[in-house]
Amino acid sequence: MLRVLAADGMEKGAVKELRELGFEVVEQFYEPEALMEQVKEFDVLVVRSATKVREPIIDAALSTKRLRLIIRGGVGVDNIDVAYAREHGIEVCNTPNASSVSVAELAIGHMFSIARFIGIANYTMREGKWEKKAYKGTELMGKTLGLIGIGRIAQETAKRASALGMKVIYTNRSGHKPEYEPYTRYELDELLALSDYVSLHTPGPKGSPPILSAEKLALMKKGAVLINTGRGNMVDASALLDALDEGRLRGYGVDVYAEEPCTDERLLHHPKVSMTPHVGGSTVEAQERIGAEVVAHIRRVFNK
């Protein structure tokens, strides 16, 4: 029987479908050393963001030559040594379409949270405070949203921002393409200077320094807001918190962190930070779509 290890869990409808197709599905998280032993006995490994599939784990799988497919249930594959796996005949794929809407909606949610003090007002009211005068907000309508990256999630974010009356601009590495209309492309430095809100949607080259370094953050428009649902290591967190403390930036909406779970006390307790625990793709709808894409990949590879 073909065996599937869902190391970070799997949507129950997908599990049911795979079992009906004759697969054995095991839903179990393993620490790296244990995973090195377990992976030898599976044909498919499905992960989310918690499990890292590095060279030693791939080497362990190669000892039995059973593992044929690694699937990342999500957009990025930076927690998998993709080139190494493929070099040794193991196919690697992801589910890039499934969670785009969910992540985009969360990015917009963080914009609203900061613009209208939703997070901090919720907290202070539960402490018995009524700080109505302190929470005079601003509208999103008429503001400029700068997107760093213009992939699927950024494009979904752009659609929603446009519907709210925001002006959308973007920057990317590949240059302007017709499918990115009607948004205008700028170089990064120009975008930072023009945008009231900046939303990060690019992972950057592996091992590269943060895209938003202290120098780049200093170029942002005074009073601007940064939203990060992309990658935690693409922002210099210390410099960002300095900018918030000094009033150069108004707020930071964040769902991803350089280290997870986040233990940065300064970030965790900052009143100008709206934060969520990496839940961008954690919606019922996204999980159903991820499950469907995972099943489709498995059926394709194993001709089911």
pLDDT tens per residue, range 254-287: 999 999 999 999 999 999 999 999 999 999 999 9
Mean pLDDT over residues 64-90, rounded? 95
CA 294 distance to own-chain centroid: 18
Q: How confident is the model at residue 204 (pLDDT cuts 50, 70, 90)?
A: low
Rounded Cα–Cα distance for residues 89 and 107 (Å): 37
pLDDT tens per residue, range 252-262: 999 999 999 99
Q: How confident is the model at residue 304 (pLDDT cuts 50, 70, 90)?
A: confident
CA angle 49, 147, 196 (to 5 degrees): 120
Q: Identify the pLDDT of residue 52.
A: 96
Asked whether 281 and 302 are in contact (CB, 8 A), the reply is: no
Rounded Cα–Cα distance for residues 218 and 91 (Å): 42
Average predicted confidence (pLDDT) for the chain: 95
Tokens found for residue 25:
């599905």
Asked whether 61 and 86 are in contact (CB, 8 A), the reply is: no
Task: Return the number of other C-beta atoms located less than 10 Å from residue 28's C-beta.
Answer: 12
Q: Residue 213: pLDDT above 80? A: yes
Is omega for the bond preceding 182 within 30 degrees of 0, making it cis?
yes
Q: Identify the pLDDT of residue 128.
A: 97
Q: Residue 136: pLDDT above 70? A: yes
Q: For residues 36-48, b (16+ Cβ closer than 10 Å) or e, as one string?
A: bebbbebbbbbbb
Q: Residue 203: pLDDT above 80? A: no
Q: Residue 85: pLDDT above 90? A: yes
Q: Identify the pLDDT of residue 303.
A: 93
Mean pLDDT over residues 129-145, rounded? 97
Give the residue numbers marked as catalytic: 231, 260, 278
**How far is CA 283 from each of CA 72, 98, 280, rounded to the nearest angstrom?**
17, 10, 8
pTM: 0.89
Q: Which of 67, 123, 75 is CA-nearest to residue 91?
A: 67
Q: Identify the pLDDT of residue 205.
A: 60
Q: Identify the pLDDT of residue 214.
A: 97
Rounded Cα–Cα distance for residues 149 and 19 (Å): 38
Give every CB contact of residue 34 below 8 A, 6+ residues apart in sequence: none
Rounded Cα–Cα distance for residues 220 and 239 (Å): 12
Task: Return the number of other C-beta atoms located less than 10 Å from residue 285's C-beta.
Answer: 12
Mean pLDDT over residues 233-262, rounded? 96
Rounded Cα–Cα distance for residues 273 and 248 (Å): 14
Mean pLDDT over residues 297-304, rounded? 95
Q: Residue 140: pLDDT above 90? A: yes
pLDDT tens per residue, range 91-121: 999 998 899 999 999 999 999 999 999 999 9
Q: How confident is the model at residue 83 (pLDDT cuts 50, 70, 90)?
A: very high
DSSP SS3 for 203: coil
Question: Alpha-carbon torsion 42, 43, 49, 55, what sign?
Answer: positive
